[in-house]
A and B are shown apart, each in its own frame.
Chain A
């Protein structure tokens, strides 16, 4: 969402910011994992954004700007500080790729289509992995937009995203294996159907 100079009318803030409300709330809720804190975070984000709207740089990305404000507000909140203090040091180095497996988390997931498992695995992810997955997959931001939102270089976006996906796959593997095994034991899943993917 680029804003040109001509678009920056006095009531532009309301026009630009209100449509982002639901998605900002969703993002806030994933970060805080608490309804009241998410509401406070969104409220503070809008207050700060409105206050700083005159300094918003024309021609830059408004959505990334709003997400950046929300994220920075979260990082300096009590919950954000607690979360970031407990996150292991993020070296942004890629480890070795996992060996290719026939029953990958994705294929198992296709069988089970278990949304709850994904939600649980995402809840368990470190916040810096959770946020980048949400920005990429849910908000469908480009790497450039994510880089602007997180204030990191694009290379970091790519490596962090790769590790976030791998971490999510690792977290999904055991429950999905169990889930499929249980279903197989009941005879409700035909063995080998996930190999054709």
Chain B
């Protein structure tokens, strides 16, 4: 087929996403080729039809009004809160500098941020295990599970070899924490399920900033969680291991991941 290579890129061309130079070549070809011109016209019509059909829903006047009021009042409140917090923070900073308690307060902030993250991780772990289909890719083979994440999450990571260990891989799924995509892997160890979460470390900067503290480089498990946990940062990725297995098992699985990374 003479125009096959053109037609393959026709949608990208009509989306205006081919480089400028190629765009000009495409324009010239479409002008001189009736087959491609007809195809282009048909696809443009389809695009328009989708555009019209896609604008199908409009919010009710009542909902729009409710949301506008909500956003207006909340953003004003947030603005007021921001100033109040800034004022309070200024007072606290001055007082802290005077009484040398600043470091202590910073440490409290770090702990609060860390507890928040672990609490979210624990929720994700429990919520997933409670689901009727906890994993999206069901496989015990790391060579099946790892490629499944390609294109779903914006980073790559290594999975450890589990031969001669007490762990077996059950599968994986995509997850989100603070709007950041990540990988959630589920392992079995002596009938206990252990979750391993992998996120980009930079995804935590926004969370950390919003909480005005940074997740410690080697965060230890908060004592109030009903799970054993371990977390570390390695090669730009943040790992969390969580489950009701023994601390020794959690640590062993963490070591296998650290060795594989």
Q: Which residues of A contact B (CB under 8 A)?
A: 10-11, 13-14, 17-18, 21-22, 25-26, 29-30, 38-39, 42-43, 46-48, 50-55, 57, 68-69, 72, 75-76, 81, 84-85, 89-90, 92, 97, 100, 104-107, 109-110, 113, 115, 118-119, 122, 133-134, 136-138, 142-143, 151-153, 155-156, 158, 161-162, 165, 168-169, 197
Contacts and interface: CB of A to CB of B under 8 A. Distances in A.
B13 to A, nearest CB: 12
Interface residues of B, number: 60
Contact of A25 (B12, B58, B136): B58
26 contacts: A14-B71, A14-B72, A21-B67, A26-B54, A30-B54, A30-B57, A46-B70, A46-B71, A53-B78, A54-B82, A54-B209, A54-B210, A75-B174, A100-B1, A100-B7, A106-B42, A115-B53, A122-B54, A133-B54, A138-B54, A138-B55, A143-B15, A158-B12, A161-B11, A161-B15, A165-B46
A168 B79 CA distance: 45
Contact of A113 (B49, B152, B206): B49
Contacts of B133: 85
Contacts of B58: 22, 25-26
Contacts of A18: 68, 71
Contacts, number: 158
B207 interface: yes
Given A137-B54, A151-B181, A106 B206 contact: no
Contacts of B209: 54-55
Contact of A52 (B8, B53, B154, B206): B206
Given A13-B75, A18-B71, A55 B210 contact: yes
Main secondary structure, interface of A, reads helix
Contacts of A38: 57
Contacts of B148: 89
Contact of A137 (B51, B75, B151, B206): B51
Interface of B: 1, 4, 7-8, 11-12, 15, 17, 35, 38-39, 41-43, 45-47, 49-59, 63-64, 67-68, 70-72, 74-76, 78-79, 82, 131, 133, 136-137, 148, 150-154, 174, 176, 178-179, 181, 206-207, 209-210
Contacts of A76: 176
